[in-house]
Amino acid sequence: DEDRLQRLHDQHEQRGARGQDAGEAGLDALLPEDVGVVSLRDVAPAFHARRDALWTWYRYRILVSRRKRPLVRNVSWRVPSVPPLMALTAAATELVGEHDFRSFANTGGSPGRSTVRRLHHVRWRVRGDERQLDVVGDGFLYKMVRTLVGTMLDAAAKSDPAAAVRAVREARDRRAAGKAVPAHGLCLMAVAMREEPVPQRVPPGLLPGVDSSTETEPDPGNRPESEVQPNSRTQSGGVV
């Protein structure tokens, strides 16, 4: 809300007098429990978090299990079964590229804005008991990724998954798409910002053809598995 934003701004203005660590701690105390401050620094006055983003990477995690998994219940959606990986992959092929994603736009977004977006990668993979979807795109509509997941799950159960997704996409009607899956399985993995060196956290093969041309800043900290793209430029995000 506006009051919280004003307090965040005031904390930032006071950071210079109190030092970097104190400024970060002050901001951290004002944020909700599922959002934390990793680092804080000044940017140009013209910087805009949305307009200066080159691309965004989301991941959706589905836990395929009939038994509860308490340690991952807040970061994955548990279901008893899912369609085969081959069918899910076939469904994803119809979403790559520049399309009108009106069918996948839920109410609550900005009225009148274009629903055309470009997705560079839509990739399913298996990790143990999980099915994970990685999506990299120039921009996303309200609840778009969660609706894409629900639609692909429906389409993958049909005889021609690609044709089923294509029909939904070309309908340009939200009623043609599947339900938006639960929010807790979705995570904002990284955002690439224009002319901003940031940590490297992108799997190999995820970004060919994506603009990531600026300098990178090595990240000596935790790196997920062995999946690091040497020439990628990303900013780690949080659960959304």
What average pLDDT does the segment 136-145 reach?
A: 93
Report how far residue 238's alpha carbon sits from residue 34's, in angstroms, rounded to the nearest whole number.
8
Q: Which two tokens stand for residue 215?
A: 């300098």
Q: Are 102 and 115 in contact (CB under 8 A)?
A: yes
* Token pair 């990793």: residue: 38
Q: How confident is the model at residue 207 (pLDDT cuts 50, 70, 90)?
A: low
Predicted confidence band at 217 (pLDDT cuts at 50, 70, 90)? Answer: very low
Once rounded to an integer, what is the mean pLDDT over residues 22-32?
77
Q: What does the CA dihedral 33, 37, 38, 42 come to, rounded to 10 degrees?
A: 170
Mean pLDDT confidence for 24-39? 80
Name the nearest CA neighbour of 230 among 211, 203, 209, 210. Answer: 203
Helix, strand or coil, per DSSP, at residue 135: strand
pLDDT tens by residue, 74-124? 999 999 999 999 999 999 999 999 999 999 998 765 666 899 999 999 999
Q: How far apart are the first and last CA of the chain?
A: 17
Taken in order 42, 46, 47, 49, the sign of the CA dihedral is positive
Check pLDDT > 50 for residue 225: no
pLDDT band at residue 238 using 50, 70 and 90 as cut-offs: very low
Question: What is the Cα gyration radius of the chain?
Answer: 19
Rounded CA-CA distance 214/206 in Å is 17
Provide the CA 145 distance to its chain's centre, in angstroms.
8
pLDDT digits (tens, 9 = 90+) for 182-204: 999 999 988 888 776 544 666 66
DSSP secondary-structure letter at 49?
Answer: T
> What is the C-alpha to C-alpha distance for residues 26 and 20, in angstroms, rounded to an integer?
10
Measure the CA–CA gap between 235 and 232, rounded to whole angstroms: 10
Q: What angle do CA 141, 146, 150 make, to 5 degrees?
A: 125
pTM of the model: 0.76
Strand partners, 50: none
pLDDT at site 104: 96
Please provide the DSSP assignment of 63-107 as one string: EE-SS--GGGTTTSEEES----HHHHHHHHGGGSEEEE-GGG--T
pLDDT at residue 130 in the model: 97
pLDDT in tens, 158-168: 999 999 999 99
Mean pLDDT, the chain, rounded, equals 79
